[in-house]
Amino acid sequence: MLRPSLNDPDVFPSDSVLCRPLGRAKAAWDAFMLLLKNDYPQMSVDWRYYNDGKSWLCKVTLKANTICWVSAWENFFKISFYFTAKAEPAISASGLGAELKYSFLHPKGRCSLRPVVTDVKKKSDLDSIKELIEIKLKAK
């Protein structure tokens, strides 16, 4: 089973540590951090080690609201958004790819929060991330 790359609780995922697992995707990571800094300066980024998953996760928040979760993998990173059913019209009408829409519109099992998870390998993958952030901000 695949696991996120940052598994050592004693090694904080600093910028230099992230270079190793992300490889070429590090440029996309830097672009993601720049996007947050420039377009959403009120958001905060917090890395924590979670014992249940035995890995470091990055939580992006706006005040007390979680916007998304980020995990580092080998040569890419995953960004996960969680929405309630109220976001269905916005996601359906969005310019997101069919695969992302399908994953939200057809959740596995019954749950109150539906995930939209995307892998980021290159800067162009951030287009959908920006759109998901906007949907998340309006879905209150």
What are the φ and ψ backbone dihedral angles of 34, each rounded to 5 degrees?
-65, -40
pLDDT tens digit sequence for 21-56: 999 999 999 999 999 999 999 999 999 999 998 999
pLDDT tops 60 at residue 1: no
- pTM of the full structure: 0.92
Bridge partners (DSSP) of residue 118 are 79
Helices (H) and strands (E) in the chain, counts: 5, 5
Confidence of residue 140 (pLDDT cuts 50, 70, 90): low
- For the chain, the structural domain boundaries read 15-138
Of 124 and 106, the structure prediction assigns the larger pLDDT to 124
Q: Give the integer Cα–Cα distance in Å for 34 and 88.
A: 28
Q: Give the integer Cα–Cα distance in Å for 112 and 70.
A: 21
